[in-house]
């Protein structure tokens, strides 16, 4: 035993100091990624029928943002999104909607959600949760990306991507807010067997506006009665 201690002391002296066992570096291990839902799974296809002329199909990603996807499904099935406007639309950036107030300050009556920042990028067609300055403040609002904005990655929760109908997104009216905003006519989950897209009815004009477009009314034509037919009596021969 004394020999062993002496050997340790000798080795320590030769090394220029005490001998310590090296601690193993702990490298954080990222949790394994769950497989994404099938791109044809109707339970994870979100339909937005837009006033711009057609249906947008969004592939939802519960593998990357399960809480936000569940929120969107819940609100959609409550018809929360039907009729809501895209209240903030910036050319070359994104179109934001999902606010019942229409000014960016509203949301649903459900509690705000924790951030689910993930590896999905903010590329063209990405659908991401809008939030306030606080990270855990996503609720019902969302935005669809026009052009890639990778600076938003890991700062906002991407929960889906447009796979059909992006031209209808591209024609959403710009503005903050737009003077005449584009709207979500109806939102559906594909598994609920929604009807086919129905275009919006043309706007009806108030009587005064219609009269202004048509101009002053022309006076009605007066029809004079025809003269009564006369029969000449012939003298008897």
In angstroms, the CA 120 to CA 219 distance is 68
Tens digit of pLDDT at every position of the chain (237 positions): 555 545 544 455 555 555 455 566 666 666 788 999 899 999 999 999 999 999 999 999 999 999 999 999 999 999 999 999 999 999 999 999 999 999 999 999 999 999 999 999 999 999 999 999 999 999 999 999 999 999 999 999 999 999 999 999 999 999 999 999 999 999 999 999 999 999 988 877 666 655 665 566 555 555 555 555 444 444 443
Cα dihedral 128, 134, 135, 136 in deg (nearest 10): -90
**What number of helices (H) and strands (E) belong to the chain?**
4, 8
Residues 6 or more apart in contact with residue 214 via CB below 8 angstroms: none
Q: What is the pTM of this model?
A: 0.76
In angstroms, the CA 192 to CA 102 distance is 27
Structure tokens, 161 = 């991507």
Hey, which residues does 188 pair with through a beta bridge? Answer: 47
């Amino acid at each position: 035993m004394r020999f062993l201690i002496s050997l340790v002391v000798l080795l320590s002296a030769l090394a220029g100091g005490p001998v310590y066992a090296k601690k193993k570096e702990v490298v954080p291990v990222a949790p394994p990624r769950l497989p994404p839902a099938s791109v044809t799974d109707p339970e994870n296809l979100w339909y937005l029928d837009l006033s711009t002329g057609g249906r947008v199909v969004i592939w939802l990603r519960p593998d990357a943002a399960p809480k936000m996807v569940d929120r969107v499904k819940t609100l959609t099935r409550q018809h929360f999104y039907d009729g809501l406007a895209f209240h903030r639309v910036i050319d070359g950036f994104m179109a934001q909607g999902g606010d019942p107030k229409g000014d960016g300050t509203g949301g649903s009556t459900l509690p705000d959600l924790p951030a689910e920042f993930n590896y999905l990028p903010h590329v063209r067609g990405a659908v991401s949760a809008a939030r306030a300055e606080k990270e855990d403040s996503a609720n019902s609002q969302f935005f669809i990306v026009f052009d890639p904005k990778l600076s938003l990655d890991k700062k906002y929760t991407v929960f889906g991507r447009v796979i059909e109908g992006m031209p209808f997104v591209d024609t959403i009216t710009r503005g903050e807010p737009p003077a005449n905003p584009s709207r979500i006519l109806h939102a559906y989950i594909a598994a609920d067997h929604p009807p086919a897209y129905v275009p919006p009815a043309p706007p009806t004009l108030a009587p005064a506006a219609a009269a202004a477009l048509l101009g002053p009314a022309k006076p009605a034509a007066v029809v004079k009665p025809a003269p009564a037919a006369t029969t000449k009596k012939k003298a008897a021969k």
